[in-house]
Amino acid sequence: MKFSLEWLKYFLDTEASVAEIAAALNRIGHEVEDIEDPALRLAGFCVAKVLTAARHPDADKLQVLTVDTGEGDPLQVVCGAPNARAGMKGVLGLPGAVVPANGMELRKSAIRGIESNGMMCSVRELELGDEHDGIIELPEDAPVGTSFAEYSDTSPIFDVAITPNRPDCMGVYGIARDLAAAGLGTFKPIEIPAIEARGACPVEIRTDDPEGCPAFYGRVIKGVANGTSPEWMQRRLKAAGQRPISAVVDITNYLMLAFGRPAHAYDLAKLNGAVVARRAKSGEQVLALNEKTYTLDETMTVIADANGVHDVAGIMGGEHSGVTEDTTDVLLEIAYFDPTRIGVTGRKLGLASDARTRFERGVDPVFLDDGLALLTSLIQRICGGEASEVVRAGQPPEEAKVIAFDPTLTARLGGVAVDEAEQRRILEALDFTVGSDWQVTCPLRRHDIEGAADLVEEVVRIHGLDKVASAPLPRMDGVARPTATPLQKMERKLRRVAAGRGLDEAVTWSFLPQADADHFADGNGGLWVLDNPISEDMKAMRPSMLPGLIAAAKRNADRGADGSRLFEIGRRYFRGEGGASDERPTLGVILAGDKTARGWASGKAAQFDAFDAKAEAMALLEAAGAPVDNLMVMGEAGAQFHPGQSATLRLGPKNVLARFGALHPATLKAFDIDGPVMAVEIFLDAIPPKKGSGGFARTTYAPPALQAITRDFAFLVPSDLAANELVRAVKGADKQTIVSARVFDVFAGQGVPEGKKSVAVEVVLQPGDKSFTDTEIKAISDKVVASAAKQGAELRG
């Protein structure tokens, strides 16, 4: 909700600064979301007088003006406005000023060879309205040289978030009351004007839906002149974000924004017969003020006459009966509608409005006569006219709630001690009536007050929420036990590592189309299929992380992405024994599209291959704490993978920790994605925790005292022997001294027997307490050769 400081001060006598008001609003529970100062946008603009106006020598539509700014010599300004003339006063933007409408900074410049020292401004350029046919014309008494921000009385604008339980503060009047109660000034109650009625109301007004519309009041004003509203009203409406339309419409909007009370005005000439609040008939339609047609049903309350529906009651008026500039006779309507009915109707129609926001939260049920009197007085003062007597159909709720209050509750529930006299003052300042026995009568507009605890909240809120002392929650003695499980810690670490490797995290649905789930089910009869899915595309729970990631990569490719590097940590779901849910933590990775972009050196773009997938799998397994040095590379990654470009990583022949590689062409076809696409799936529940750590603990690093040495070995091995098998054999030759081994060369061809290949392995030896002797190194080397020989390898001569 927006309102200007000037409007607030109309109801609150205060000398508080903008910052003090904002602090007080936050302190009493009305969060200030923004403060806008229009004066800052008008810096550099001043009131100026045009002394002379002559035709530009090189342009028919331009004039050269001499302008008095009240300081120093007059300035020369080139202007194209048709209304620019000698003797008028307007608004001059000086060099350095920024035009609010377009952000252009004004500078001295030459226009068709004539120097111009600023710009005479229009209403649109200063964002004060839509007029742009000419420059602003100010009254004769406008003081030359005065800052235009000061002259136009621009006021800071507050944007305050009003919580749903405080409809009484959906108007500036309610905000002023709360601030006055908090000690920020003196509240200025409104004086309800006495209206001289001229005869009976010529229109029958009634409510045929007492549940939806308990009270429906109205009167006719004849002989109005519906022109433009006064400048002060337009200024306040614009500050609140409302566009001025016409005097009568602006007055109804003013009442709503000032007092939180929506009302409506009809063009009497467009009505036929009685004006009635009733239930809509199923299928009835109404053309609303937003120029959209809505189909109604019998649960909705409407305002209608003999011709049909004119309003969706309490939400939006109709296009056909709205007032225009030609309107001379108006029917004013002010009513109380059931909040629940308003909310249901608004949601059914998908129709939102300022009136709905207030009615569905609950307006003041007794502000009917007063609101109608204020409306009538404003219209007569601005537009003229004679008012009829008021017609009152129905009866609003009038039974006030009385609560027995114990002042000691404030300390017990609110956590702050407030003197009883101060508690009484606060409640009475908020318009509660407090008896000598602390029987508190609530104002009818306070729908949120239900019991004594709500009164405590009011006292503490106005006393100052910042005065409630912070109190730590009690805790047990000793060190608090960690709440994150080892699996949760592992998942957090994996997310950081995956992101650090350039992968983007995706979050996909846990539900899949039946066909996608079947494709990755591997014939598993434990697939979960829902009996009542929310859609056919979300019928089965995923047996793999890969289908959702493949679909995400496809969406990226369809939208022009060159490549996708996606990962997700989640759960796979299977039907366990006895129908129990079996959830298995899993990490999935998809590498699709281009690995590197094309370039002048590399030529075509490079694509991902199975070795990229293996590298991601190994790095993520290592981050998860898996013993990657002991992993075996084996086949059988699954029917979804390309059999020649995929594998599994295992600890022993049965414990599969991960699978990786290129997806099978049949899988790519099933998911309608162009290949190649590489995938990784790591089964986090299969990774064994480190012994004695209770999880994946990090050990303290202690660098070795002596320098490591390296030895190179070249072996002749069968051509079908996996290099990884040779490396594992070499590392197992002496586990205490061999800290690492890696392949650095593979050769087959001339000089190598047929059916053989040469594999060169670098072995790193780490001494312990003392350096190795030649004899010790020779003994270790013999162990390496002997261990390699078990894999069919022989040392090359």
Measure the CA–CA gap between 341 and 334, rounded to whole angstroms. Answer: 17
Measure the CA–CA gap between 229 and 323, rounded to whole angstroms. Answer: 14
> What are 7's two structure tokens?
């409007």
Backbone angles phi, psi at 64, to 5 degrees: -105, 115
Beta-strand runs (E) in 268-328: 275-279, 285-287, 293-295, 301-305, 308-312
pLDDT at 162 over 60: yes
Average pLDDT, rounded, for the chain: 91
Question: Which fold, 709-795?
Answer: Alpha-Beta Plaits (3.30.70)
**Three-state DSSP state, 466:** helix
Q: Is 454 annotated as a binding residue?
A: yes
> What are 235's two structure tokens?
């200024």
Burial (0-12, 13-18, 19+ Cβ within 10 Å), 129 = middle
Question: Which fold, 40-151?
Answer: OB fold (Dihydrolipoamide Acetyltransferase, E2P) (2.40.50)
pLDDT digits (tens, 9 = 90+) for 694-708: 444 556 777 888 899
pLDDT digits (tens, 9 = 90+) for 321-330: 889 999 999 9
Task: Specify which residues 67 forms β-bridges with.
Answer: 50, 75
Burial (0-12, 13-18, 19+ Cβ within 10 Å), 346 = buried
Choices 1.10.274.100, 3.50.40.10, 3.30.470.20, 3.20.20.140: CATH for 205-394: 3.50.40.10
Backbone angles phi, psi at 473, to 5 degrees: -70, 145
Measure the CA–CA gap between 509 and 724, rounded to whole angstroms. Answer: 37
Candidate from 371-385, 484-498, 636-650, 686-700 with smallest mean pLDDT:
686-700
Categorize the per-residue pLDDT at 692 as very low, low, confident or very high, splitting at 50, 70 and 90.
Answer: low
Question: How many other C-beta atoms can be found within 10 angstroms of the C-beta atom of residue 485?
Answer: 10
In order of 265, 307, 316, 699, the CA distances from 313 in angstroms are 13, 16, 7, 71
Categorize the per-residue pLDDT at 376 as very low, low, confident or very high, splitting at 50, 70 and 90.
Answer: very high
Q: Is 448 annotated as a binding residue?
A: yes
Query: What mean pLDDT do residues 283-298 have?
Result: 92
pLDDT at 476 over 80: no
Give residue 377's Cα distance to chain centre: 42
Query: What mean pLDDT do residues 274-280 have?
Result: 95
Domain boundaries, the chain: 2-37+156-187, 40-151, 205-394, 402-463, 486-686, 709-795
pLDDT at 310 over 80: yes
Question: Which fold, 402-463?
Answer: Phenylalanyl-tRNA Synthetase; Chain B, domain 1 (3.30.56)
Q: Is 458 annotated as a binding residue?
A: yes
Categorize the per-residue pLDDT at 355 as very low, low, confident or very high, splitting at 50, 70 and 90.
Answer: very high
Question: How many other C-beta atoms can be found within 10 angstroms of the C-beta atom of residue 402?
Answer: 12
Residue 516 · residue 547 · CB < 8 Å? yes
Candidate from 370-379, 411-420, 577-586, 780-789 with smallest mean pLDDT:
577-586
2-37+156-187 matches 402-463 in fold: yes
Measure the CA–CA gap between 344 and 173, rounded to whole angstroms. Answer: 28
Candidate from 162-166, 394-398, 485-489, 749-753 with smallest mean pLDDT:
749-753
pTM reported for the whole predicted model: 0.61
Categorize the per-residue pLDDT at 409 as very low, low, confident or very high, splitting at 50, 70 and 90.
Answer: very high
Provide DSSP, 197-222.
B-S--SS-EEES-TTT-SEEEEEEEE
End-to-end CA, the chain: 88
**Three-state DSSP state, 379:** helix
Candidate from 251-260, 618-627, 656-665, 718-727 with smallest mean pLDDT:
718-727
Query: What mean pLDDT do residues 639-652 have?
Result: 92
Q: Considering Cα of 642, then 646, then 649, then 653, what sign does the dihedral take?
A: positive
pLDDT digits (tens, 9 = 90+) for 19-38: 999 999 999 999 999 998 88
Measure the CA–CA gap between 361 and 262, rounded to whole angstroms. Answer: 12
| C-alpha angle 727-730-736 in degrees, rounded to nearest 5 | 120
* Higher local confidence (pLDDT), 203 or 525: 203
pLDDT digits (tens, 9 = 90+) for 62-117: 999 999 998 889 999 999 999 999 999 999 999 999 998 888 999 999 999 999 99
Choices 3.30.420.40, 3.40.50.280, 3.30.930.10, 3.30.70.100: CATH for 486-686: 3.30.930.10
> What are 322's two structure tokens?
């709205």
Candidate from 242-246, 589-593, 599-603, 753-757 with smallest mean pLDDT:
599-603
pLDDT digits (tens, 9 = 90+) for 196-214: 999 999 999 999 999 999 9
Give residue 523's Cα distance to chain centre: 43
Q: Note the pLDDT of residue 523.
A: 60
Burial (0-12, 13-18, 19+ Cβ within 10 Å), 566 = buried
Q: Considering Cα of 723, then 728, then 732, then 737, what sign does the dihedral take?
A: positive
Q: Note the pLDDT of residue 525.
A: 59
Task: Specify which residues 712 forms β-bridges with.
Answer: 762
CATH 3.40.50.1820 fits 2-37+156-187, yes or no: no
Share of the chain above pLDDT 90, in %: 74
pLDDT at 179 over 60: yes
Q: Is 568 annotated as a binding residue?
A: no
Question: In 433-579, where does DSSP find H-type helix?
Answer: 452-464, 486-500, 514-519, 546-558
Share of the chain above pLDDT 70, in %: 98
Residue 138 · residue 146 · CB < 8 Å? no
In order of 320, 514, 560, 622, 658, the CA distances from 668 in angstroms are 59, 17, 18, 29, 20
Categorize the per-residue pLDDT at 578 as very low, low, confident or very high, splitting at 50, 70 and 90.
Answer: low
Measure the CA–CA gap between 538 and 622, rounded to whole angstroms. Answer: 34
Query: What mean pLDDT do residues 405-414 have?
Result: 93
> What are 67's two structure tokens?
């302008």
